[in-house]
Chain A
Amino acid sequence: MTAPVAADAQVDAQVVVENLVKRFGDFVAVDHASFRIGHGEIMGFLGPNGAGKSTIIRILCGLLRPSAGRVSVAGIDVARDPELVRQRIGYMSQKFSLYRDLTVEENLRFFGGIYRVPRGELAERMRFAIDMAGLGGREKTLVGTLAGGWQQRLALGCAVLHRPPILFLDEPTSGVEPKSRRRFWDLIHALAADGVTVLVSTHYMDEAEYCHRAALINQGRIIATGSPDALKHTALGGELLLIECEALGPALAALRQQAPGVIDASVFGNAIHVLVRDADRGIDELPAYLERRALPPIRIERINPSLEDVFVQLIAADAAKRRQAA
């Protein structure tokens, strides 16, 4: 094979996306997105609703055609041979898409048949999916009557029935209660440990912590990619301080004006998160700066940024960059 994939650093990249663009009429849903996902890696897509996460996943499944760019899955060009790709992937759509009027067992048997899971293996694979979903003893229950968490786990079981090496999960935990979400992520990790490559989208920022790598997506653009730690420590371009203050509004305005060493400030709950070039200097200088303006801080301390901080900061920076370009 002379494909350029082999020459790249990530030799075993299972998903390669280069300069992907998707337009719906005048609307640009995906704007020059590029990323790779390695073998056995869990890649998280983070972003608000409508950011373009589902569109990218649907393109990877061959459900939508890219307007421009190159997409390859398991080394196969999706545009050229979507059918071959479909044999290697498992997919969970954002909307629950098993048959509600069929039982657990009937759904599994149907999808097993559609994927042509060999007869001798089917019983064992169904057992695996049922155990994984924790649905033992409920094989004859109509899927429509199961609670959300069970339904999502069963959908995952259906998606891996044919042992796909790559999984695309589109917001699999949305609308599911926190305990079930946690359990769902455990399943994803177990699959990844077996070598399955997983791309999973979510709008719960905290879930990014469960991913090996996360891509932050906003308005169709990937604005940052990296491990959760790397994102928190490098993507911000500074360090984070938490300041508590009586009058939040005036303090925020003051910090945004000409406070020494401050890159940006934003309100988080009943405190202000301040991005500074150097945390130690900030702790030294900022209380005096605020006191001079009759806004004495109640508390000032260095904090570890959450991914939400990173995301808010990056979106603001991205918007500013776009305004400048325009």
Chain B
Amino acid sequence: MFARIIPMVIKEFLQLRRDKAARFLLVVPPILQMLLFGYAATFEVYHVSTAVLDLDHSQESRDLIARFTSNGRFNVMKLARSQRGIDKAIDSSEATVAIVVHAGFAELLRKGQGAPLQVIVDGTNSNTALIALGYINTIAAGFAQDYVTDLMQRVGQETRPLQVTLEQWPWFNPDLNGRWFFVPGVIGTLTLVLIVNLTAFAIVREREVGTLEQIMVSPIRPAEFILGKTVPFFLVGLGEVALVVAVGLLWFRIPFVGNPFVLLFGTALFLLSSLAVGLLISTVCSTQQQAFSTNFFILSPFFILSGFAFPIASMPQVLQWFTFVNPLRYYLVVIRATLLKGVGIDVLWPDFVAMAILALLLLTLSILRFRKTLE
């Protein structure tokens, strides 16, 4: 039935072996990108450039400011001497955050009243701004707590003020290390981009070179041709995933607490569905230029609407529906869950089923789209 797949697979591997550029592109850029993106993709906020204006010049104000300068989250770039200096620092993006301690800050504290602290944040990047505000809140609250405790001790009051303390113990990632979240995402995204790019040109190139015409007049069946293109890229994809996962585990020290076979199974389904996307592009396009543009058009939404960075649950309903046809969406769940949580198929089966359906649907579509005519 499918006897012609074997010569197709042999041919594809021979061509790959001869293609020095492709061999390089399959190994070096994925490792480099993995290293780069592993560091770059993070929501954590460090070294926020900060400007400070102290109009109180009290021991209290100096103490508070010291808590910012000594904290790795903030980089105090500028000690302003007037409100104008603060405005300039924010306008010119010299500082993202400005902290102003107004005159009378210490006096209000000593009276036991609440003392306002002015914070100006450049909200252009709302995410950084929100996170920075959170840190500022924590620092200010810590300062207030210490001040009150200190005051009470000095006044000689024995009874401590009532406190509610939060005992944090986040599961699966106790240190809330952002890299643990992002590196698996980078693995999935890199694999998707690589596989779709590889397969999208697989048929178009033969069409452009003219070899496809020779294939078309042969008695090969569309299914044999498409599957003959699928198998080699599937094997190449498995190698790719092994490579980038190795970088994630060995270099970024991402834990792998789950079952490797669950990940392998999920990866297989993910590869099949992604290369089906590429092959479909390749059967629809008539030139490599078209395939290139189509790739770009398809891959960007796949990336944004995958849950790589932006939670799918927060997206408008319509976009959430779109994510259902996105193989990356399911794979990110699978790879994060197997690496970090160690859950099995009993939990992940809906994602497995979804990827299997996508792969089947898209491959069938490619086979139906592949016509053995030039029209």
Contact = CB atoms under 8 A, between A and B. Distances in A.
- Whether A and B are associated in the same complex: the answer reads yes
B222 to A, nearest CB: 11
B106 to A, nearest CB: 79
A102 interface: yes
Interface in A78-123: 82-83, 86-87, 89, 91, 93, 95-102, 106, 109-116
A99 B15 contact: yes
Interface string B209-225: 11101111111100000
A91 B18 contact: no
Contacts, number: 79
Contact of A110 (B7, B19, B217, B373): B7
Interface string B1-32: 00110111011001100110000000000000
Nearest to B4: A114
A64 B210 contact: no
A196 to B, nearest CB: 16
A142 B8 CA distance: 18
B375 interface: yes
Contacts of B6: 113
Contact of B373 (A63, A99, A100, A114): A63
A64 B372 CA distance: 9
B65 to A, nearest CB: 67
A111 B373 contact: no
A65 interface: yes
A102 B3 CA distance: 21
Contacts of A98: 211, 214
A115 B219 contact: yes
B374 interface: yes
A114 B220 contact: yes
Contacts of A115: 218-219
Given A91-B217, A97-B211, A101-B19, A116 B3 contact: yes
A64 B374 contact: yes
Nearest to A100: B209
Given A99-B11, A102-B11, A115-B219, A91 B214 contact: yes
Given A62-B372, A106-B11, A111 B210 contact: no
Interface string B48-92: 000000000000000000000000000000000000000000000
- Size bracket of the A interface: 20 to 34
Contacts of B18: 101-102, 142
A58 interface: yes
Interface centre among B19, B218, B375 (most CB of A within 10 A): B218
Contacts of B10: 109-110, 113
A133 interface: no
B7 A114 contact: yes
Given A82-B372, A113-B7, A114-B7, A61 B214 contact: no
Contacts of B210: 93, 95-97
A257 to B, nearest CB: 49
B354 to A, nearest CB: 35
Contact of A65 (B216, B218, B373): B373
B11 A110 contact: yes
B24 to A, nearest CB: 16
Contacts of A99: 11, 15, 211
A114 B218 contact: yes
Contacts of A87: 219
A139 B181 CA distance: 53
A63 B218 contact: no
Contacts of A82: 372
Interface string A196-209: 00000000000000
Given A109-B7, A116-B4, A86 B219 contact: yes
A90 B220 CA distance: 14
A260 B10 CA distance: 72
Nearest to B19: A101
A148 to B, nearest CB: 15
Interface of B: 3-4, 6-8, 10-11, 14-15, 18-19, 209-211, 213-220, 372-375
24 contacts: A58-B374, A63-B373, A65-B375, A83-B219, A86-B217, A86-B219, A89-B217, A91-B217, A93-B210, A93-B214, A97-B210, A97-B214, A98-B211, A99-B11, A101-B15, A101-B19, A102-B15, A113-B4, A114-B4, A114-B8, A115-B218, A115-B219, A116-B3, A116-B219
Given A114-B4, A116-B3, 4 more contacts: A62-B217, A63-B372, A93-B213, A101-B15
